[in-house]
């Protein structure tokens, strides 16, 4: 019975990813984002449960990636796509570049494609047992989840950023690259809850709580940028050591 618990949690992750897609096309992006956040919490606990119960296996590994493609690739990709379609507004001067405008409008699908590639690489990359190479798909998904909440509750300056043509055009390109980049990132994989060996993880979580308390929903996006920055700092520090 115990061996099925991690896979049941993973299946629940997939279930909430599907609910997110339904909510997006029902016109409720904040609910869609909430479902993805729940899926991310479940994604954390399925791996933790597998390690605690010592029941990890190939089936669980493959199921986890398949669930993540939906919950952290397709679902957030559609949130970004709908948001992009609603806010991409070009002046008449740009209308002559129809092929380019069509390309930009479908850029959000690259987030889905590169999420799938990232997860496929993860499954065959033996370097990623205790850390990540490339941005994890839940991190990209959580950044996108901040957008509907900011659109609903502000602040205005963040709304302006998320609605800008520059952001809507560049985000899919930059984050699609980060998903498959040869960039080492620390993982929030707790083998125990002691401080020793988890210093970076606890520092990151503490700073995330601070960012969210100060900036509310924008803080979620800032946490992902902090994750990238802190990982880059650790990479530089390890090289110089």
pLDDT of residue 131: 73
Domains: count for the chain:
1
pLDDT of residue 137: 95
pLDDT of residue 35: 97
**pLDDT tens per residue across span 170-197:** 999 999 999 999 888 887 766 656 667 6
Task: Give the angle 67-73-79 at the CA atoms, nearest 5°.
Answer: 120
Considering the chain, what is the average pLDDT of its residues? 85
Q: How confident is the model at residue 67 (pLDDT cuts 50, 70, 90)?
A: very high
Q: Which residues pair with 131 in a beta bridge?
A: 186
Three-state secondary structure call for residue 91: coil
Three-state secondary structure call for residue 186: strand
Whether residue 109 is predicted with pLDDT greater than 70 in this model: the reply is yes
Q: What is the DSSP letter of 72?
A: I
Q: How confident is the model at residue 240 (pLDDT cuts 50, 70, 90)?
A: low
- Mean pLDDT computed over 86-112: 71
- Mean pLDDT computed over 107-131: 86
For residue 5, what are its two tokens? 């618990």
Query: What's the distance, Cα to Cα, between the start and end of the chain in Å?
Result: 47
pLDDT of residue 52: 67
Whether residue 215 is predicted with pLDDT greater than 70 in this model: the reply is yes
Name the least confident of 21-25, 62-66, 94-98, 119-123: 94-98
- For residue 133, the enclosing domain spans 2-240
Percent of the chain with pLDDT over 90: 54
For residue 226, what are its two tokens? 């902090």
**pLDDT tens per residue across span 3-51:** 677 788 889 999 999 999 999 999 999 999 999 999 999 988 877 666 6
- DSSP line for 97-138: -HHHHHHHHTTHHHHHHHHHHHHHHHHH-TT-SSEEES--HH
Identify which of 159, 152, 132 has the alpha carbon closest to the alpha carbon of residue 228: 132
Q: How confident is the model at residue 81 (pLDDT cuts 50, 70, 90)?
A: very high
- Mean pLDDT computed over 61-86: 92
Whether residue 99 is predicted with pLDDT greater than 90 in this model: the reply is no
- Specify the CATH number for the domain of residue 39: 1.20.120
pTM of the model: 0.86
Q: How confident is the model at residue 106 (pLDDT cuts 50, 70, 90)?
A: confident
- Mean pLDDT computed over 148-158: 93
């Amino acid at each position: 019975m115990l061996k099925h618990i991690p896979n049941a949690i993973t299946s629940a992750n997939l279930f909430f990813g599907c609910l997110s897609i339904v909510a997006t096309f029902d016109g409720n992006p904040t609910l869609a984002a909430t479902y993805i956040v729940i899926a991310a919490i479940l994604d954390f606990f399925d791996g933790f449960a597998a390690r605690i119960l010592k029941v990890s296996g190939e089936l669980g590994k493959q199921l986890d990636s398949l669930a993540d493609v939906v919950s952290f690739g397709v679902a957030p990709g559609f949130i970004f796509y709908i948001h992009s379609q609603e806010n991409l507004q070009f002046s008449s001067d740009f209308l002559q570049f129809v092929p380019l405008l069509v390309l930009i409008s479908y850029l959000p699908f690259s987030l889905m494609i590169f999420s799938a590639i990232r997860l496929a690489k993860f499954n065959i990359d033996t370097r990623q047992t205790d850390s990540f190479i490339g941005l994890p798909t839940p991190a990209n998904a959580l950044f996108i989840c901040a957008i509907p909440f900011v659109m609903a509750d502000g602040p205005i300056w963040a709304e302006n950023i998320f609605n800008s043509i520059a952001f809507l055009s560049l985000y899919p390109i930059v984050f699609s690259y980060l998903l498959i980049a040869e960039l080492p990132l620390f993982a929030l994989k707790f083998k125990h809850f002691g401080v020793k060996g988890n210093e970076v993880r606890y520092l990151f979580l503490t700073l995330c709580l601070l960012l969210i308390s100060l900036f509310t929903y924008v803080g979620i996006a800032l946490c992902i940028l902090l994750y990238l920055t802190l990982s880059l700092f650790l990479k530089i520090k390890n090289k110089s050591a």
